[in-house]
Chain A
Amino acid sequence: MGAYTPRKLKEALCPALISAWSEVMIYFRYRASMVIGLITTPMWVLFFVLNFNLFLPAAYRAAVQRSLMWSFIFLEMFSEAIWNLGMSLRRMKEMGIIEHVIATGSLFLTLLGRLSRIITDTVIYGFYMILFFYIALGVDISIKSPVLFIVSAMMALASCFGFSSIFSSISYGRRNVAALINILQFPVMIASGIILPAWILPPQLKIIAVASPLTYPFDLMRSAATGEPTLLDFHLEFLLSLLSATFMLLLSKKFIDRVEKKEMKGEVPGTL
């Protein structure tokens, strides 16, 4: 019991806390990017809305736009995770930071702290997109089940973290990580029901969606927000979300530990 005093717990979590703090600080330093993001986000939203409207008679547009609003928020969460976390180990290596972090034995916690940036970004853009869809397109922005929404959002974050960290670990020694992310992100998002609801995917893609660990938490989030049906039975999907979030977190720890071991053995060439 003495090993788990509040003070010791705080000390143990210190790397995650300091990483969380620094990520948020850095996030707000890129003001031009934030401003441009606020300007371009509605443009991208309108692009996709208009794309959909090519196929939809006016009567159906409101419901679809509502689902699309959540798609954008999920897209932002996943995109921020894959770009920020997915490139994090490579970037840390290039900047010469990774050795310092490994020396403190807290690589996993440091990456975990980066969730703060993903949360900050998703919340800001989430609110912004909800406001935009409400004012510009008159979309219904109410959340059907707020508690379930928040719980599934946490599971989605955990899954995104796991997926992105694993990706980061696997692509660690490669130079063209950005190109890989560019190729992967849209197919992954389509196949995991992030862009389009899983229940509406063609049968061939549904099979992939069922197999993807990312699908369930996002599907639950969408269902909690809009009341749309889930891909599988609700209780099963909840259990699968919980399992996939836990599994991805544990698996990501293994992969990150492997990167640490590789670094300590000097198996990854330095950049200097």
Chain B
Amino acid sequence: MRRFLLEISAHMYKEIKYIMRDPAWLVVFSIFPYVMAAMSCLMGIASSYISPDAFSEFQRNTGSSNAMLYFLTGYGIMFPSFLVVSVASENTGAEIASGTLEQIFVSPAKRELFILFSSFPYILVAMLGLIVSYAPLLLMGISILDFLIAMTMVFIGLLPLLGLGVLASNLTIKVKEYWSAANFLQAFLTLFSGFAYPISFLPEWMRLVSHVLPTSYAVELVRKYVEAHSISYSNLYGIVLMAIAYITAGVMSFRLVEKEGERSGSIYSS
């Protein structure tokens, strides 16, 4: 147990040091949801020059009368999702590129802990960034309890992304441009998760894809709570199940990396 905890601490120590050395991204992270929400609202304003009923149309399509809050809710999940999925999906590739993967492999450290806890600190940091970024909403009348519950929901929603990112990372180890998986996942999540529009707005076949994404459940969960104060337990259970499924798949897929290393040595930088 002690060994287990020490290893987790080591990975978290390393990643937190990395995060603290580059705090500029925290500023970007804090601003981005507002920039994107403003841009989406600007689309509405621009649309109102073309059609005076633009915001009524918006309310008809989304069921929400407050466009800014609607978008802020969605983008508040989008950016932490981007961060977690990017880091997790680039992790193995980055370790290969830096030549540290073989050093991890020659140590007696548990590979499963390495693969999960190299990315887990980013969930914590994403949450911290989100809390800081969205704290001004408390001044708009949102209660602290509601705020904390919403944040907890986002946190739970991010867990499956850890597994999804790790899975993507391990399936693409032979691709030299290892950041490609992150680019793909970000675009994929953006289109199918309903960050900026309801899933029902998508064509039928696209909605099927949304059902396998944890972010679509997370967005719906948080939106229902923020707008109607109701907790959708079906969404919550869906996210938890996905977390178990994706994380398990991600960890098991790391065996592919190990096997490839042992077979061909092609993933080692030396």
| In-complex Cβ contact of B47 among A43, A50, A56, A186 (8 A) | A56
Q: Distance (Å) between the CB of A182 and the closest chain B CB?
A: 5
Q: Distance (Å) between the CB of A192 and the closest chain B CB?
A: 13
B55 within 8 A of A: yes
B175 within 8 A of A: yes
User: Are B62 and A60 in contact, with the CB atoms below 8 A?
Assistant: no
Enumerate chain A residues within 8 angstroms of B53, measured Cβ to Cβ: 57
User: Are A196 and B177 in contact, with the CB atoms below 8 A?
Assistant: no
Q: Which residue of B lies closest to A68 (CB)?
A: B43
Q: Distance (Å) between the CB of A199 and the closest chain B CB?
A: 9
A36 within 8 A of B: yes
Chain B interface main SS type: helix
Q: Distance (Å) between the CB of A10 and the closest chain B CB?
A: 35
Question: Which of B110-118, B125-133, B190-198 sits within the interface?
Answer: B190-198
User: Are A60 and B50 in contact, with the CB atoms below 8 A?
Assistant: yes
Write the B146-178 contact mask toward A (1 if CB under 8 angstroms, else 0): 000000000000000000000000000001110
User: Are A30 and B177 in contact, with the CB atoms below 8 A?
Assistant: yes
User: Are B47 and A179 in contact, with the CB atoms below 8 A?
Assistant: no
Write the B31-48 contact mask toward A (1 if CB under 8 angstroms, else 0): 110011001101111111
User: Are A33 and B180 in contact, with the CB atoms below 8 A?
Assistant: yes
Q: A40-B184, A182-B32, A187-B35 are in contact. Are A55 and B55 (CB under 8 A)?
A: yes
| In-complex Cβ contact of A50 among B50, B186, B188, B201 (8 A) | B201
Enumerate chain A residues within 8 angstroms of B40, measured Cβ to Cβ: 51
Report, as a range, how many residues of chain A touch the other chain: 35 or more
Enumerate chain B residues within 8 angstroms of A176, measured Cβ to Cβ: 22, 24-25
Enumerate chain A residues within 8 angstroms of B61, measured Cβ to Cβ: 53-54
Measured between alpha carbons, how far is A160 from B68 in the docked complex, in Å?
31
Enumerate chain B residues within 8 angstroms of A18, measured Cβ to Cβ: none
Chain A interface main SS type: helix
Measured between alpha carbons, how far is A60 from B27 in the docked complex, in Å?
37
A202 within 8 A of B: yes
B225 within 8 A of A: no
User: Are A190 and B43 in contact, with the CB atoms below 8 A?
Assistant: no
* Residues of A participating in the B interface, judged by any CB pair closer than 8 Å: 30, 32-33, 35-37, 39-40, 43-44, 46-48, 50-57, 60, 63-64, 175-176, 179-180, 182-183, 186-187, 190, 195-197, 200-202, 205
* Residues of B participating in the A interface, judged by any CB pair closer than 8 Å: 22, 24-25, 27-28, 31-32, 35-36, 39-40, 42-51, 53-55, 57-58, 61-62, 175-177, 179-180, 183-184, 186-188, 190-191, 196-197, 201-202
**Subset of 20 A-B contacts with CB under 8 Å:** A36-B184, A39-B187, A40-B183, A43-B187, A53-B61, A53-B197, A55-B43, A55-B51, A55-B57, A56-B47, A56-B50, A64-B50, A179-B25, A179-B28, A180-B24, A196-B43, A197-B46, A200-B46, A201-B42, A205-B42
